[in-house]
Structure 1
Amino acid sequence: MSEINITLPVIPLRGLAVLPDMIIHFDVIRKKSVQALEAAMVEEQNVFLTAQLDPDVDNPEAKDLYTVGTVAKIKQLVKMPQDTVRVLVEGKFRGRMDDLIQSEPYLMADVSIFETGGHLEEVQGEAMLRYLKNQLEVYSSVNTQFGTELVHKLENEENPVKLMDQMAINIPMDFRSRQKLLEAVDIQSRFETLVGLISREVDIIQINKEIQAKVKERVDKSQREYVLREQLRVIREELGENNLMSEAEEFEQALKKLKADKSVKEKIAKEIERFKATGNNPSENGVLRGYIETLLEMPWNKEGKDNPDTKKAERILRADHYGLEKVKERILEYLAVRSLAKKGDTPILCLVGPPGTGKTSIGRSVARALNKAYVRISLGGVHDEAEIRGHRKTYVGAMPGRIATALKSSGVNNPVMLLDEVDKVGNDYKGDPFAALLEVLDSEQNNKFRDNYIEIPIDLSNVLFIATANTTSTIPRPLLDRMEVIEISSYTENEKVHIAREHLIPKQLERHGFGKKQISISDRALEKMIMNYTREAGVRNLERRIGDICRKCAKKVIASNVKNIKITEKNLEKYLGKPRYTFDLANTKDEIGVVRGLAWTSVGGDTLSVEVNVLPGTGKFELTGQLGDVMKESARAGISYIRSMVSKYGIDKEFFENNDIHIHIPEGAVPKDGPSAGITMATAMISAITRRKVRADVAMTGEITLRGRVLPIGGLKEKVLAAKIAKIKTVIVPETNRQDIEELEKEITDGLEIVFVSDMDQVLEVALCPE
């Protein structure tokens, strides 16, 4: 190998490497390169072509160019539009740029030319030739675009060096690969480099073919499926089954998106397959369609996020409801447990109390406080077990039960579910709904509640159940045992004023189109409204009376164009008419045989005047006033106790044989019953028999035994409230009810003397006037 030094114009190439013996044309745009071509044409038409390391460089210097390039002969120049020159060159020799001696107006460099004839031993040359032809055969077999004539031409070449150069020129490869071949001056290294590059190209082509084959296979399969589907669609259209299959596809798409356990999805998938197989049978596919839609709409594993902020929940509960402290406390305890344990047992609460006390509305407030979905189920009058458990889907008109339907409508598996009026559920020959509710409201069983229609077990363990009832007496004991009972008693007068001021009045003003300050109602007017225009434990009628006032005010505003209206105690009758209710106040004087008792009613507490008359007769015992069986038994127990104590109370032994006793409770049209008037009737009888007066400012409640013991009673809060309204000063209650009295607010007991008694002697000592 010898070297020849020469100075030549340099043309940098972008993404292109030219090899010796290679004839190629390319476009020249850069001004420097055009001037280099012009300078070469003036001389011997030789230029030095070298590739740029980075094709994006616009004004390359020596450091931006490969050192090894090709000395080429310019064969043709053609000027193109926009100052572009198309040049045809032929590569002659490998060369190395020793020094870039000129940068302006074009590049000029000292170049060393390599003469690379070299000498190969005969055996070595033959080996190289055979291997190159073998590689050529392999390459041409995988690259079908490689021309047959070119292959024959190369196969006829017997000089391994020339064959190498021709293969390097004709086999497609990137400019960096050709640059490697250009830099391989030594024949052996050039051979190894070329063989490696050809092997790599063969591998790339084979991989591309495999990829193309797979893609084609998939495309062909998709195309085949498309054609078959189109044919199937046409056939179904002819048979009238097209809608059926499109619905099935919609079901399958919905199933993919459904959040549910694997067993649930498998069940739904089977039903979809059955739906597809029903064909053009409208009755069968109609039943299956409804069933699948129901299963897909159920929130199997879709859970709503709870509100973990107990302070926020407390604010919401206090803003929505005045009072009801036990309920609020229980909900906040539940939240606190969930915050600590992340997932605690969900309580099943039962709110028991008179109508209108806010049992139903507190369910909505609890849902808002916990940030849960809210659904209400009215159980009043339900007497068919299928309404709870659902019907078998084989029946005509079958549908899920109320529990499953409510869960579906909530959209999540952990809503607040209000079971309203659970005490008014009935039963008949169609089954016992209470038995179904046992499973719903049992925390140990309701994680696999089975609805007859849905058939798949439903998890109700995350549902917060709140049941409401007016009384627990009609709820079966096993069902009551599964619920946490919270008593909601009557509201006091002060509580009703607060509720009206904070909730009812703003609500009614908004409902009737008034501003917050257009109508003002004084506290005295509210108190009079509560006392004389409503008689209830809750505030439902109070809200109606406020609504009456708003309607009258609306008429007045329209007629007289009045802007602000004040409702006071004096002008209240103009809006509500004459008072509807009056309370029997305490008697003004002490009387014989007249005792004030205390009673619980569905609308709160009331005072009950018991009157006893003794008149000559034959020992008859008469009860009037429409008394129930329990009160009649209490009266008989009282008279038996008195007859057994004649000597103690100074009663003549023949008194009961020569006199009749008549017990009467006024308002005879109103039924009265309950185990709390025993001591009241006994005291009235003893007063009438012994002719001792009873204190007018005393009221009492309690049951009596044959031995004169006083038994505990219920409804104390309402009874004490009634005594306070009647301006009673002293209230006698059983000793065993002391804890109930201690739980009452001071607002209720202030101004009252509460006397606890355990036998009739203590009752008489307080109730009867001194002799």
Structure 2
Amino acid sequence: MDWELPVIALRTQVVLPRTLENVDVGRPKSKRALEEAQAGDNRVLLVVQREPRVDDPASADLYDVGTLCVVKQVIRLPDDTLQVLVEGRERARIDAYLPGATLRAQVTTIKEPPSARTASEVGAIVDQVKSVFGEYAQQNKNLRLDSFHLENLKSLKEPGPLADVVTKYATWESGDKQAVLEEADPATRLELVLGYLSRDLERFDTEKQISARVKQQMDANQREYYLREQLKAIQRELGSDDASEAEELKQKVEEKDLPEAAKERALKEIERLEKMAGGSPEATVVRTYLDVLLDLPWSEIDDETLDIAHTEKILDEDHHALEEPKERILEFLAVRQLTKDREGADYKSPILCLVGPPGVGKTSLGKSIARSMSRSFVRMSLGGVRDEAEIRGHRRTYIGSLPGRIIQGMKTAGKINPVFLLDEVDKMTADFRGDPSSALLEVLDPEQNDTFADHYLEIPYDLSKVMFITTANTLSTIPRPLLDRMEVIHIPGYTLDEKMAIARRYRVPRQLADHGLEERATIGDDAVRKIVTEYTREAGVRTMDRLIAKTARKLAKAFLDEAWDGEHTVDAERVRTLLGVPPYRDEATDKQPQIGLAHGLAWTSVGGVTLDIEVVSVPGKGKVTLTGQLGEVMKESAQAAIAYLRKHASDYGLPADFHETRDLHVHVLEGATPKDGPSAGIAIATAVVSALTGRPIRGDVAMTGEITLRGRVLGIGGVKEKLLAAHQAGISRVLLPEANEANLEDVPAEILAELEVTIVKDFGQVLEVMLAVADEGTFEPPPVTVDARATRPPGVPPA
């Protein structure tokens, strides 16, 4: 008989004729098929998937034979899944799938052919299946079948129903059950079921044999353990174990200068160990604990150097610039030197947080601080740490428990006053195992860390003499309570002159020495300048170092190929040959006036960057499209800029009805990079005015500042980093909010000498500078009617 039926795909559950089954329906397509069946005569075809992991199966993912079922009951569960009670009626073969949103198919029911077997043959197979299934039910621990259903099954006499019901209860894979479903002949189907049952019984017997062998081996191990313990007892009676393990541990405890609480705990654990069997797991746990307790430094201390001149010399040897963190360390040493002889003086070590882009020397500065003060150095990376137990340790009740990484770091240092660097503190995350940043609150609090509680150690440990230094790329992801415990020192990116000095003093000599070229080659200043300006765009020097190393490798190969005499000098032209096409060449066309293109400035975790903002205006109905992976704050900034321009359209020569007759598309370049923040407000507004009026924007000027609905330009962050980025990009002039004028004191003098900074306080002043007049490839800005202090000429420092 032919039917057109909705189809529900099942992942692994095979429903057979003559059975009642509960089926869970959760996928949208399956729910639609169920609703269609309920709207009709409740008939539906259930088909199993060939691959259970496919979430949205197509017709090719389903078997060709399924079961025609009738829906009896539908219950909606709390998670919106439907539990459906179905009755299997007949086998059915899918002839064709019908088009539509719901999975539907043209199916033909499969009739059971008359058996070619004799009645006695069929009866023998039926009896054998019943007998074998009874044994199968006894041995299969996963089979859930009560005595009532088992007796009901044994009362079946026809091969077809017996095969289907046995298959329903058997714990077979869906492929085996599907094979039973596809077999139309009842006797053949029953023989197939008998084969599967016999296969499983053989597997059960094999498992029994393996279990018996394992038990026998365990009994032998227990006997050996018992005999060994007897041997130890005999040896103790004979006096051959005088120098016992417990006595050795007690001697170590007495020799170690432990605090009273630690000493008392150690002796108590040794007493426990004496009462335990030597090879027991508990004894191993106690030994491990005692090893940790005795290996930790409790009173051992480094004799630190308090000579300020010596410390300053080492810091300057290792790092160029970085004046603020160096000054903070020298201040700490000055206080220590003045208070070292004062009775009862206990000056707390500072807890510094070095924040800056990658590659500016935060981690290596920590090593230099330790070397300059003659202290031990320990580094602990927090990137990706998400388990509180990594900081505080695991309780000893857990198998394989260990102390936290703070205690392990102190054990590695061997002293109670190391420089302890917590690297990438902004990369920690929290999950169901706890919040590691909360565990750090006690570690980084000078008022609490003298009694730090590690879960494994279970006794207070003094961290007050440790100098903790943390590093981060950004403060935005550090929890506020944790940030409040640290003294933040910003390390901005390096200027071109600073990068040149670092290359000359550190990177070039080291790389040439590492590659065996210290007396065979040198890299000139012009070559380093070309590497820095045309091959890198970074706040730090990590990429520069890699490129210098790449240059040295190629020189080493060239030396072996060419075998030149004397010292070979690499100039800018040779860099182009060795490193290939520069990826960051200065494009002159970008500095020309263009309509709808404004240069903004942004501050990211990797330093300052230039931000090109494009706006196009086309006829439309006032729709505004924002693209470039913009964050919510940046989108709101754009909306505020456009709202301000609507209010003051006549002041800037804009069409009064532009918000009704023109569509605007605002795009921030480098669309693959997420962007957010309000500081691009004036740049967006300027680009919109340019696009609507057709007036070009100066290409040699960049700007940064938040715009308000009244046209005021508000202050922003990261002034130094943004000006460094503008200078590196070849920008000659930057517009800066009036609120940020004081921040110019942090900008290096060599940058201000080559970069003109104009102070603005409202949007009208921005347009007076930015809207240029094109004239044969050059432009002159319109006159600026602002007060005398609004523009700082190149080279003039702030007042």
Bucket of the pairwise TM-score, normalised by the shorter protein: 0.5 to 0.7
Partner of residue 661, structure 2: 658
CA distance in 2, matches of 1:589, 1:385: 55
Partner of residue 81, structure 1: none
Equivalent pair of 1:553/1:565 in contact (CA under 8 Å): no
- 1:532 corresponds to 2:530: no
TM-score (structure 2 length as normaliser): 0.65
Partner of residue 426, structure 2: 423
Q: 1:707 aligns with which of 705, 710, 730?
A: 710
Query: Post-superposition shift, 1:586?
Result: 7.0
Partner of residue 353, structure 2: 350
| 1:339-383 CA distance string (max 9 Å, x none) | 011241110000011111111111100000010000000111111
CA distance in 1, matches of 2:468, 2:604: 28
The AA in structure 2 aligned to 1:463 is V
Partner of residue 284, structure 2: 286
CA distance in 2, matches of 1:402, 1:250: 28
Query: Post-superposition shift, 1:283?
Result: 0.9
Partner of residue 760, structure 2: 757
Query: Post-superposition shift, 1:281?
Result: 4.3
TM-score (structure 1 length as normaliser): 0.67
**Equivalent residues in 2 for 1:578-589, closer than 5 Å:** 578-584=581-587, 587-589=590-592
Larger Rg over CA atoms? 1
Query: Post-superposition shift, 1:411?
Result: 0.6
The AA in structure 1 aligned to 2:270 is I
CA distance in 1, matches of 2:591, 2:430: 51
The AA in structure 2 aligned to 1:561 is A
- 1:365 corresponds to 2:368: yes
Partner of residue 336, structure 1: 334
Closer/same/farther in 2, CA of residues 557 and 247 from structure 1, 3 Å limit: farther
- 1:609 corresponds to 2:607: no
Partner of residue 302, structure 2: 304
- 1:552 corresponds to 2:554: yes
**Equivalent residues in 2 for 1:155-166, closer than 5 Å:** none
**Equivalent residues in 2 for 1:356-395, closer than 5 Å:** 356-395=359-398
The AA in structure 2 aligned to 1:272 is I
| 1:530-558 CA distance string (max 9 Å, x none) | 12222221111111111112211222233
Three-state SS of the structure 2 residue aligned to 1:694 is coil
When structure 1 is superposed on structure 2, of 600-609 and 400-409 the one drifting more is 600-609
Equivalent pair of 1:710/1:757 in contact (CA under 8 Å): yes
Query: Post-superposition shift, 1:740?
Result: 1.5
CA distance in 2, matches of 1:654, 1:561: 74
Closer/same/farther in 2, CA of residues 650 and 362 from structure 1, 3 Å limit: same
Q: 1:570 aligns with which of 566, 569, 573?
A: 573
Partner of residue 199, structure 1: none
Three-state SS of the structure 2 residue aligned to 1:278 is coil
Closer/same/farther in 2, CA of residues 533 and 591 from structure 1, 3 Å limit: closer
Closer/same/farther in 2, CA of residues 652 and 243 from structure 1, 3 Å limit: farther
CA distance in 1, matches of 2:337, 2:458: 34
The AA in structure 1 aligned to 2:315 is L
Closer/same/farther in 2, CA of residues 764 and 308 from structure 1, 3 Å limit: same
CA distance in 2, matches of 1:636, 1:543: 43
| 1:168-213 CA distance string (max 9 Å, x none) | xxxxxxxxxxxxxxxxxxxxxxxxxxxxxxxxxxxxxxxxxxxxxx
The AA in structure 2 aligned to 1:319 is E
Closer/same/farther in 2, CA of residues 249 and 702 from structure 1, 3 Å limit: same
Q: Which runs of 5+ in 2 are unaligned?
A: 1-229, 341-345, 773-781, 784-799
Query: Post-superposition shift, 1:584?
Result: 4.8
CA distance in 1, matches of 2:737, 2:687: 17
| 1:110-148 CA distance string (max 9 Å, x none) | xxxxxxxxxxxxxxxxxxxxxxxxxxxxxxxxxxxxxxx
CA distance in 2, matches of 1:556, 1:636: 58
Partner of residue 497, structure 2: 494
When structure 1 is superposed on structure 2, of 418-427 and 583-592 the one drifting more is 583-592
Equivalent pair of 1:414/1:462 in contact (CA under 8 Å): yes
Query: Post-superposition shift, 1:587?
Result: 4.0
Equivalent pair of 2:356/2:607 in contact (CA under 8 Å): no
Q: What is the aligned-residue identity percentage?
A: 52
CA distance in 2, matches of 1:250, 1:576: 64
Query: Post-superposition shift, 1:417?
Result: 0.2
Query: Post-superposition shift, 1:629?
Result: 2.5
Query: Post-superposition shift, 1:588?
Result: 4.7
Partner of residue 245, structure 2: 247
When structure 1 is superposed on structure 2, of 585-594 and 659-668 the one drifting more is 585-594
Equivalent pair of 1:519/1:566 in contact (CA under 8 Å): yes
Query: Post-superposition shift, 1:499?
Result: 0.9
CA distance in 1, matches of 2:542, 2:486: 26
Partner of residue 441, structure 2: 438
Closer/same/farther in 2, CA of residues 498 and 243 from structure 1, 3 Å limit: farther
CA distance in 2, matches of 1:236, 1:331: 63
Closer/same/farther in 2, CA of residues 588 and 304 from structure 1, 3 Å limit: closer
Three-state SS of the structure 1 residue aligned to 2:460 is coil
Equivalent pair of 1:535/1:603 in contact (CA under 8 Å): no
CA distance in 2, matches of 1:581, 1:695: 21
Query: Post-superposition shift, 1:277?
Result: 1.8
Q: 1:687 aligns with which of 685, 690, 697?
A: 690
Q: RMSD across aligned C-alpha pairs, in angstroms?
A: 2.2
Q: 1:640 aligns with which of 636, 640, 643?
A: 643
Query: Post-superposition shift, 1:574?
Result: 2.4
When structure 1 is superposed on structure 2, of 655-664 and 309-318 the one drifting more is 655-664
| 1:46-78 CA distance string (max 9 Å, x none) | xxxxxxxxxxxxxxxxxxxxxxxxxxxxxxxxx
**Equivalent residues in 2 for 1:175-190, closer than 5 Å:** none
CA distance in 2, matches of 1:715, 1:755: 17
Q: Which runs of 5+ in 1 are unaligned?
A: 1-231
Query: Post-superposition shift, 1:389?
Result: 0.2
Query: Post-superposition shift, 1:401?
Result: 0.2
The AA in structure 1 aligned to 2:502 is I
Closer/same/farther in 2, CA of residues 522 and 430 from structure 1, 3 Å limit: same
Q: How many residues align?
A: 539
Query: Post-superposition shift, 1:583?
Result: 4.2
Closer/same/farther in 2, CA of residues 251 and 661 from structure 1, 3 Å limit: same
Partner of residue 513, structure 2: 510
Partner of residue 398, structure 1: 401
CA distance in 1, matches of 2:699, 2:238: 89
Q: 1:697 aligns with which of 679, 696, 700?
A: 700
Q: 1:473 aligns with which of 463, 476, 484?
A: 476
Partner of residue 597, structure 1: 600
| 1:493-528 CA distance string (max 9 Å, x none) | 11111111111122222322333x422111111011
CA distance in 1, matches of 2:242, 2:501: 61
Equivalent pair of 2:593/2:696 in contact (CA under 8 Å): yes
Query: Post-superposition shift, 1:571?
Result: 0.9
When structure 1 is superposed on structure 2, of 730-739 and 607-616 the one drifting more is 607-616
The AA in structure 2 aligned to 1:531 is T
Query: Post-superposition shift, 1:240?
Result: 12
Three-state SS of the structure 2 residue aligned to 1:372 is coil
CA distance in 2, matches of 1:628, 1:240: 80
Three-state SS of the structure 2 residue aligned to 1:610 is strand
Partner of residue 295, structure 1: 293
CA distance in 2, matches of 1:530, 1:651: 43
| 1:679-698 CA distance string (max 9 Å, x none) | 00001112222343323332
Three-state SS of the structure 1 residue aligned to 2:626 is strand
